[in-house]
Structure 1
Amino acid sequence: MTTGTQNANRLIHSTSPYLLQHAHNPVDWYEWGEEALMKAKKENKPILVSIGYSSCHWCHVMEREVFEKDTYARMMNEYLVCIKVDREERPDVDQIYMDAVQAMGVHGGWPLNVFLTPDQKPFYGGTYFPPQQWVQVLEGVHKAFTQRRGEVEESAQQFAEHLAQQDTSRYKRAPEPTALKNDLEAIYSKLEPAFDTVWGGLEKEPKFIMPSLWLWLLRYHHITGNEKALRQVLLTLKRVAMGGIYDQIGGGFARYSVDGYWFAPHFEKMLYDNAQLMSLYAEAYAVTRDEEFKTVLEETFEWLQGEMMHPEGGFYSALDADSEGVEGKFYVWKKDEIDAILKADAPVINAYYSVKEEGNWEHGNNILFRTQADDKFLEKHNLTAVAWKDLLRKSKDRLLEVRDKRIPPGLDDKIITAWNTMMVVGLADAFKATGDRRYLKAALKNMEFIERELTEGVTLYRSYKGKRSHIPAFLDDYAYLIQACIRLYQVTFSEYWIKRAELLMVHTIDHFLDSADGFFLYSGKYGEKLIADKKEIFDNVIPASNSVMAHNLLHLGVMLDREEWKTLAENMTLSLGHIITAEPNYMSNWAIVYTEIKKGLAEVSLVGAEIESLNERFHQSFQPFALTMGTTTHSELPLLEGKVAIEDKTTIYVCFNKTCQRPVHSLEEALEQLRPS
């Protein structure tokens, strides 16, 4: 691809790595904005909105096959006003037109190519188009728009009306009184038949890890003691950690596996996946104290610090699936490469990672992939655990040293507020589970970056790159920042963080809450006016911003004694109870909030000189239904008011719905008071 400004289109001035990838296309691309939209109206042309992201494999393919070719570019420039959108910078635009394409009966995905009337209403769309089909689409769109304009406008109006309908109007219902036990079993009974009891996860391909689903199952097990549920979580996490979806020598997780056994990943690594998986593996470690889960945390953290961290503390967005134009090239190995690097150690390492002479994947390449648990492998090869640990570490280091000399995948180095604050939560959870202060230090450094570069008071920006913060933040940015502030308060007891969460919550309610139905708009009342402002209801790999807000409202409502916030969380969540229990695959984070509401949250207050060490020890047990607060002396926070260190000893108060148990001095006594009945 050409570099510099020679022969560049107007995308050359973008901060988005994805848009910059298209800056030397012969297509006359515009960014989404007033200039392009006014041009379409002035010239009476349809609009092409082409949406993707920098680490998207098929986006690169379509660029090479179509957008870099003069023949296709001339047609596009003549017939259309062409707009390129980075879905990670403008998720609001992506949500609207993804919804439109799915309403057209097309399976969603990226690249997403949607054709609009000059007033932004969609009338045709799809995902990846090969060259000849793209020509047919361009000719068909041009002919329809110029010769059958009335039909196009009528169809576009119907899609626009569909987009204006909110999911809340379709799915929200008056809550029905139900027992927690029945609700839990209803949710579990919907999930359990889909368990893949051999490879973990759910029985479907491709396989996404879906962290919030397994987080709910850990909570379900905590309440019910259902061992099958716990086994499935642990099986999933172990199989994932053994699979090609996990970078066996470099750490970090790819987005998904294309097969049913976590072998061949789609090789892109996304910050948001790794943030949530830090939380999930941390909780699994807290439950089991299994060293393998701790190792995954450590290796992923090393990868984050080495490849994904801005020098001043923020985290970049993604690593591409491709290097040198080939998917996975950076990560795969020929057997003779490993033989040459490891020499006498190669046979046992090849056996460990399922490496074959002919390759275990495409074109004679091998994806490093484990099929046996370590204890069985060591027994088979007559190795001691100590000797094996040393050999494996040295072998990984030697392979990594060679791999690091390869041409790396492209780095999307924009810094997104929502994804970074998800990582703050993931790091804080890793600190909670392990007590390793490196995680807390990185979380605080990340938050300092966000506060410095992406925040003005309580106003946030979505994205940062090249010392520029721009694009007003969306609901998920606010939701995850509030969650991160709550989590940092719980691990540090610095009241700055909970007061910051409170201020941000007030602002978010004012700017995003639709009082008509009690749910939050994605772009907000004062954001750019598109043809629709969606409300995220369904949880996906990333939980819906409304479910995260409900969680925040519930926690802050309890911790700050803001009854109106707690009520809002309950109204949001319980009105969706019938869907949560019927379709938990699509409501897994809601299921966590729903369970917390129905079960109730414990208020755990620590008062006295030793609260820091006591809090660290408390968090290393798994207590998902306890909210911790603490002060060394005096605090005006409602749940701490009037609580003192009895007999000058650090004292723990365990309370349920503002009714407190007997104050105790030992962690063991407090944990006994919290034990599920």
Structure 2
Amino acid sequence: MANRLAAATSPYLLQHSGNPVDWHEWGEAAFAEARRREVPILLSVGYAACHWCHVMAHESFEDEQVAAVINASFIPVKVDREERPDVDAVYMRATTAMTGQGGWPMTCLLTPDGHAFYCGTYFPRDRFVDLLRAVTEIWQDKRDEVVEGAAGITARLQEATRPPAGALADGPLGTTGLRDAITGLLAQADHHHGGFGGAPKFPPSMVLEHLLRHHARTGDDRALDLVEATCTAMASGGIYDQLAGGFARYSVDAAWVVPHFEKMLADNAQLLRVYLHWYRATGSPLAERVVRETAEFLLRDLRTPEAGFAASLDADTEGTEGLTYVWTPEQFTEVLGAADGTRAATLLGVTEQGTFEGGASTLRMLEDPPPEWPGWRLSLFEKRSLRPQPPRDDKVVTSWNGMAIAALAEAGALLGEPSWLEAARRCAQLVLTHATPDGAGHLRLRRASRDGRVGEADGVADDYGNVAEGLLALYQATGEPHWLGLAEDVLATALEQFRSPDGAFYDTAEDGERLVLRMRGRTDNAEPSGTSSLAGALLTFSALTGRWRAEAEAAIGAGGEIAAQDPRFAGWFLAAAEAAASGPVQVAVVGDDAVAREMIAVARAATSPGLVLAFDGGTEPVRPGSGKVVAASAPDTDHNVAPPGLLDSRERIDGHSAAYVCRGFVCDLPVTTVDDLHASLASTIDS
């Protein structure tokens, strides 16, 4: 019997469309069928690049006997956590509450009303069948008790996730909280290998951004030292793809040697920006190389025909993890010859014993690369390209594409790569042409698309925060005012639909689908939470326009408790707080000659976390929801009208290009030379 996943937009769901399990997509139809049949829901949540999701699929969901047990007594529902992070968050909360831990695949048993009564993660086949049979018996004999208990669990979780009564949060994390966070991070750091904690070890992208901003604001060399140690170790380790660029999801060991090989857009977009800011702060050649190679990876391996960026590359190739990526000395010799093969193997840590399975090795950069390295790299990459390649999850996740827009826009502007800027523009246009105006004229984002077809799921809070961040980065990189107007629209929707009474943001819209819990994202894990992503975007917007500063500060303040408990899980809150403490420092450049362009470059090179930049770069309107980009000569829509900002009433001085440097919209006298701008910024930043 064919299941119901063949028309899904999610590649993960499509992977299961041939299962004998009678899968449903998440939705009211599945729950209505559960109520009609009076059976529980079997909820299985995973994602396309998840290794253990594949294992459970092969062991259980592709097995006819297991499928028969499921189909007889349950309504099975398959969810892509990347497409429905709201559903994932609700039942991950239940899973961690019941078991003390979480992960994927996530396996939950629900009543027909959506209340969880049993949760877990990966189950081996026989244990899974035993569980299903036991639950079937209990459901038949003690259904009322199960239903009552599940409703009680939900009620307790609702109480735990309810916003506190009373006033908004006290305001942004202050300088004392930021200093305490640095003390906590230094105490938790791995000062031998870089990063934090032991194995498995994840790239601490948002924490690194916070540390860079803290150093820029205070001059604290301890923060910069930790960034340099961690970024150097990661870029030299097996977690970084030495041949193709880009980072794997995490390292299975504490020394960054062996990665879990999946490569995620969200990780790489964030790390591209971190390495860019490390380069800006220090001029590190390694940082610049990683930026360039990672940008190449995004454009070559993750870009879709529609100009978005795919979600991930799988950890497995033909069912074997790492098959595409690992090497032996003999393979090096085959590609490079005996002499160069031996030298390259020594450079990259490829040994007879191996660092991975079966005597193969991951690639690490153990020394400074010799002059021959670019040629070796190209030859090895071309040979590797002939191997079987990992599958690509080519859905375009709105939130993660917002991160890519921000990273490519900033990097393209700072490093003078117009093709990266154009890629950021086209990606933003794709995301926005899938948005639709609501009744108030504000933009409503969708969560994901694939092959140009928009998925059913509405955007969640981090979609709005990260897209707004990307649009604001595009505005500052290009000077094109419509990006600022579009960011305003996105943020207006977020404030109207997602804001919580305590200044944080719910994950889901006020008028959206009602789940059994309405979660508020306040922890930064692999990516910024909904609240912190919106806090950062609101803060930047307020610096550019003077609007929504109080809302930004309230959202930053909502992360104060997490930052005090464990700053590793409040990285983007802390990064936004550093910007709030440092700024706003506002630079508006008027003019279009060589002096103006050099002034813009000076402002871009400044490291102050609170600095924003405005200049007039022209316009190319985008009409949201039209399915196409509108030509520059077409009439502007309301979405393309920029709000009042830094360029208002700014003029050239006696016909010369000028820069206006302000702090909190209180401005110095305008300057007309690059040297004077340098001096003005030096006297303003960190004053």
Sort the TM-score into its range (normalised by shorter chain).
over 0.9
1:243 aligns with 237
Identify which range, 450-459 or 547-556, moves more after superposition. Answer: 450-459
What aligned pairs does 1:71-86 form with structure 2 within 5 A after superposition? Answer: 71-86=65-80
Matched, 1:526 2:526: no
Matches of 1:401 and 1:287 in 2, distance apart? 34
Matches of 2:159 and 2:657 in 1, distance apart? 54
CA RMSD of aligned residues (A): 2.2
Matches of 1:421 and 1:30 in 2, distance apart? 30
2:652 aligned to which of 629, 645, 660 = 645
1:292 aligned to which of 286, 295, 301 = 286
1:413 aligns with 394
1:598 aligns with 581
Q: CA deviation at 1:275?
A: 0.6
Q: CA deviation at 1:168?
A: 6.2
2:601 aligned to which of 593, 616, 627 = 616
Q: CA deviation at 1:173?
A: 7.8
Matched, 1:210 2:204: yes
Matches of 2:314 and 2:576 in 1, distance apart? 34
User: What secondary structure sits across from 2:660 in the alignment?
Assistant: strand
Matched, 1:452 2:433: yes
2:276 aligned to which of 278, 282, 302 = 282
Matches of 1:26 and 1:412 in 2, distance apart? 22
2:465 aligned to which of 476, 479, 488 = 479
With over 3 angstroms needed to count, the CA separation of the structure-2 counterparts of 1:178 and 1:304, relative to structure 1, is closer
| Contact map agreement 1:51 1:85 (CA 8 A) in 2 | yes
| Contact map agreement 2:217 2:609 (CA 8 A) in 1 | no
1:403 aligned to which of 384, 393, 401 = 384
Partner amino acid, structure 2, of 1:588: G
2:355 aligned to which of 347, 351, 360 = 360
Q: CA deviation at 1:223?
A: 2.0
Matches of 2:555 and 2:444 in 1, distance apart? 25
2:686 aligns with 676
Matched, 1:656 2:663: yes
Partner amino acid, structure 2, of 1:672: A
Partner amino acid, structure 2, of 1:664: V
Matches of 2:115 and 2:41 in 1, distance apart? 9
2:484 aligns with 498
Matches of 1:176 and 1:89 in 2, distance apart? 34
1:382 aligns with none
Q: CA deviation at 1:198?
A: 1.8
Partner amino acid, structure 2, of 1:618: A
| Contact map agreement 2:324 2:389 (CA 8 A) in 1 | yes
Identify which range, 656-665 or 395-404, moves more after superposition. Answer: 656-665
| Contact map agreement 2:172 2:553 (CA 8 A) in 1 | no
Deviations 1:431-484 (A, max 9, x none): 243222222121112112222345567222211113311222222212111111
Identify which range, 665-674 or 500-509, moves more after superposition. Answer: 665-674
Q: CA deviation at 1:12?
A: 1.5
Q: CA deviation at 1:175?
A: 5.6
For structure 1, the residue ranges without an aligned partner over 5 or more in a row are 1-6, 379-387
2:313 aligns with 319
| Contact map agreement 1:173 1:575 (CA 8 A) in 2 | no
What aligned pairs does 1:134-173 form with structure 2 within 5 A after superposition? Answer: 134-165=128-159, 167=161, 169=163
1:583 aligns with 566
Q: CA deviation at 1:345?
A: 0.6
1:220 aligned to which of 211, 214, 236 = 214
1:508 aligned to which of 482, 494, 508 = 494
| Contact map agreement 2:242 2:364 (CA 8 A) in 1 | yes
Q: CA deviation at 1:576?
A: 4.1
Identify which range, 649-658 or 251-260, moves more after superposition. Answer: 649-658
Identify which range, 267-276 or 549-558, moves more after superposition. Answer: 549-558
1:535 aligns with 520
Matched, 1:428 2:385: no
Matches of 1:216 and 1:467 in 2, distance apart? 35
What aligned pairs does 1:372-383 form with structure 2 within 5 A after superposition? Answer: 372=367, 374=368
2:42 aligned to which of 39, 48, 62 = 48
| Contact map agreement 2:663 2:684 (CA 8 A) in 1 | no
| Contact map agreement 2:175 2:581 (CA 8 A) in 1 | no
Q: CA deviation at 1:128?
A: 0.4
What aligned pairs does 1:2-401 form with structure 2 within 5 A after superposition? Answer: 8-165=2-159, 167=161, 169=163, 180-343=174-337, 344-372=339-367, 374=368, 388-389=370-371, 391-401=372-382
Aligned residues: 654
With over 3 angstroms needed to count, the CA separation of the structure-2 counterparts of 1:318 and 1:638, relative to structure 1, is closer
Deviations 1:478-523 (A, max 9, x none): 2111111111111111111111111222222222223x33332212
With over 3 angstroms needed to count, the CA separation of the structure-2 counterparts of 1:171 and 1:240, relative to structure 1, is farther
Matches of 2:219 and 2:49 in 1, distance apart? 41
Q: CA deviation at 1:632?
A: 7.8
Partner amino acid, structure 1, of 2:686: P
Identify which range, 145-154 or 454-463, moves more after superposition. Answer: 454-463
| Contact map agreement 2:461 2:498 (CA 8 A) in 1 | yes
Partner amino acid, structure 1, of 2:591: G
User: Structure 2 length normalisation: TM-score?
Assistant: 0.91
Matches of 1:351 and 1:228 in 2, distance apart? 32
| Contact map agreement 2:42 2:74 (CA 8 A) in 1 | yes
Q: CA deviation at 1:58?
A: 0.2
With over 3 angstroms needed to count, the CA separation of the structure-2 counterparts of 1:463 and 1:576, relative to structure 1, is closer
With over 3 angstroms needed to count, the CA separation of the structure-2 counterparts of 1:182 and 1:479, relative to structure 1, is closer
Matches of 2:173 and 2:499 in 1, distance apart? 29
Partner amino acid, structure 2, of 1:583: D
Partner amino acid, structure 2, of 1:33: G
| Contact map agreement 1:661 1:673 (CA 8 A) in 2 | no
User: What secondary structure sits across from 2:71 in the alignment?
Assistant: helix
1:4 aligns with none
Matches of 1:22 and 1:333 in 2, distance apart? 32
2:629 aligns with none
With over 3 angstroms needed to count, the CA separation of the structure-2 counterparts of 1:90 and 1:530, relative to structure 1, is same
Deviations 1:249-295 (A, max 9, x none): 11111110011011111100000001101110110010111111111
2:638 aligns with none
Identify which range, 607-616 or 47-56, moves more after superposition. Answer: 607-616
Identify which range, 268-277 or 294-303, moves more after superposition. Answer: 294-303
| Contact map agreement 1:602 1:625 (CA 8 A) in 2 | yes
Partner amino acid, structure 1, of 2:571: S
Q: CA deviation at 1:225?
A: 1.5
Matches of 2:521 and 2:494 in 1, distance apart? 15
1:574 aligned to which of 546, 549, 557 = 557
Partner amino acid, structure 1, of 2:462: D
Matches of 1:361 and 1:268 in 2, distance apart? 15
Matches of 1:636 and 1:577 in 2, distance apart? 31
With over 3 angstroms needed to count, the CA separation of the structure-2 counterparts of 1:236 and 1:432, relative to structure 1, is farther
With over 3 angstroms needed to count, the CA separation of the structure-2 counterparts of 1:259 and 1:492, relative to structure 1, is same
Partner amino acid, structure 2, of 1:574: G
| Contact map agreement 1:539 1:589 (CA 8 A) in 2 | yes
User: What secondary structure sits across from 1:534 in the alignment?
Assistant: coil
